[in-house]
Structure 1
Amino acid sequence: MENRSASDRVVTKTAAGSVAEVAARFRGILEGKGVMVFAVIDQAAAAQTVGLSLRDTVLIVFGNPAAGTPVMAAAPLAGLDLPLKVLIWDDDGVTRISYYSPASIAERHHLEPATAAGLSAIDVLTDAAIKS
């Protein structure tokens, strides 16, 4: 399942497995392709540190400097969207993976198609992660 919302700004896909399993699978895919993982933030664990509860939610921040640097050189404020991020979260027992669409990032920063082309890798990477 793939849903797009808010004028295709956010893509949400249904993934096989738990949040932890999908996050581990996604990290493995990234590492296998030589993509840098800058941060993995367990937002549910962070909520617990202040006595609050939150559904299983993990944010993974990743990127490829060879693809991101030309984008930020062309549009410095694209650094607000880069590196790329995916949110892997529990939706009442169904694991979802969500991210800003490459088209929305390109539109927001007025990127030329050739400059924005590398952003579309997120679609392929998440497609691989949603499979069991």
Structure 2
Amino acid sequence: MTTETSPYGVVTKTAAGSVAEVAARFRELLDAKGVTVFAEVDQAAAARTAGLTLRDTVLILFGNPAAGTPVMAAAPLSALDLPLKALIWDDAGVTRVSYYSPESITDRHHLDPAVTTGLSAINALTDALTKA
């Protein structure tokens, strides 16, 4: 598994399989862990409705209200970053999984790290998804 973190706090990991396969595995993993999936957006399919072409790109919005609610109570604008999001996308034939790191959300909204502890589950979830 390769992991990269951009200067903007975006973590990107490599996953085996197609975008559709990885998205399905991620939904299964979230279900097994009791994590709520709020929405799944197939951005490539949406582009096709406009007559446009986009690489396979799926955005999954998910979370646990017990973890996210204290964050939003402490900083209402953090709701712009919540629920958590994972972008599963095709990068020239390689499937990538990208998301904002919990640390970047903590920093962006000037939060006490103790308030955002629950958000760190995204790291373990994506590690499980992308393990070799």
Give the TM-score of the pair, scaled to structure 1.
0.97
**What is aligned with 1:50?**
50
**What is aligned with 1:120?**
120
- Paired with 1:35 and 1:115, the residues of 2 have a C-alpha distance of 19
Q: Deviations over 1:45-96 (max 9, x none)?
A: 0000011010000000001000000000111111000000000000000000
Which sits farther off after the overlay, 56-65 or 122-131?
Answer: 122-131
Indicate the RMSD between aligned Cα atoms, in angstroms: 0.9
**Is 1:3 matched with 2:1?**
no
Q: Structure 1 unaligned runs (5+)?
A: none
Superposed structure 1 runs of 4+ greater than 6 Å apart: none
Q: Structure 2 unaligned runs (5+)?
A: none
**What is aligned with 1:129?**
129
Query: Helix, strand or coil: the match of 1:13?
Result: strand
- Paired with 1:113 and 1:50, the residues of 2 have a C-alpha distance of 42
**Number of residue pairs matched by the alignment:** 131
- Paired with 1:113 and 1:54, the residues of 2 have a C-alpha distance of 37
Q: Which amino acid letter does the alignment assign opposite residue 46 of structure 1?
A: A
- Paired with 1:13 and 1:113, the residues of 2 have a C-alpha distance of 23
**Is 1:21 matched with 2:21?**
yes
Query: Helix, strand or coil: the match of 1:59?
Result: strand
Cα deviation for residue 130 of structure 1 reads 1.1
- Paired with 1:131 and 1:19, the residues of 2 have a C-alpha distance of 15
Give the TM-score of the pair, scaled to structure 2.
0.97
Cα deviation for residue 131 of structure 1 reads 3.0
Percent identity of the aligned residues? 73
